[in-house]
Amino acid sequence: ESKPAQQPQTIEREREWVKLPDFLSPEDIHVTSNRIVIDGIPGYEYETAIFTNTDSMLPVLDESCQAIQIKLKTREQIRKLVKPGVILSYDPPDHLAQPGIFIHGVTRTWYDANGNLHAKAKGYNNPFEDPVDITEDMMKRVTAGVFC
């Protein structure tokens, strides 16, 4: 009697859709009559992002939205912030022949045998995950907040 071959083990984490991680709390956002000030996480850099009209991230993001994103500058930051549920901006590989940065929700993460973090992502409005094994060098930013 032969036994089925064992599959290699990976560590995977999954999370419900459209639950953004708590990168910002209400105490971090200060609104005055003519200004919005957001206190970021110390040690991280932020930038804003706008979106193209692809409808892939509806109902959360569309071309009328602007996001506040945390730049992923170090391996430590990537490993701390990239997890299922996060909206990740990543640079797709050349074989996809689509210019620009992708911004989709992370569906799962795992570490390979060499200890490198990988992720899969999906547009909330897309039927399937992106056909990309997202590696650490492709991960650019995570979304901390969205204004639409």
Model confidence over 8-56: pLDDT tens digits?
Answer: 333 343 433 344 567 777 888 889 999 988 888 888 899 999 888 889 9
For Cα atoms 128, 131, 134, give the angle at the middle one, nearest 5 degrees. 115
Nearest C-alpha neighbor of 68 from the set 33, 96, 103: 103
Which residue has 């170090």 as its token pair? 74
Residue 100 corresponds to which tokens in the numbers above? 């620009």
Which residue has 């992370």 as its token pair? 106
Q: Categorize the per-residue pLDDT at 93 as very low, low, confident or very high, splitting at 50, 70 and 90.
A: confident
The pLDDT value recorded for residue 6 is: 41
The pLDDT value recorded for residue 45 is: 92
The DSSP 8-state label assigned to residue 148 in this structure reads -
The pLDDT value recorded for residue 39 is: 85
The pLDDT value recorded for residue 21 is: 60
The pLDDT value recorded for residue 60 is: 86
The pLDDT value recorded for residue 97 is: 64
Which are the contacts of 33, defined by CB distance < 8 A and separation ≥ 6? Answer: none
Residue 82 has pLDDT above 90, yes or no: yes
54 class by beta-carbon count within 10 Å (0-12 exposed, 13-18 middle, 19+ buried):
middle
Burial string for 117-145 (b: 16+ CB within 10 Å, else e) reads bbbbbbbbebeeebebebeeebbbbbbbb
The pLDDT value recorded for residue 95 is: 67
Q: What percent of the chain has pLDDT over 90?
A: 49
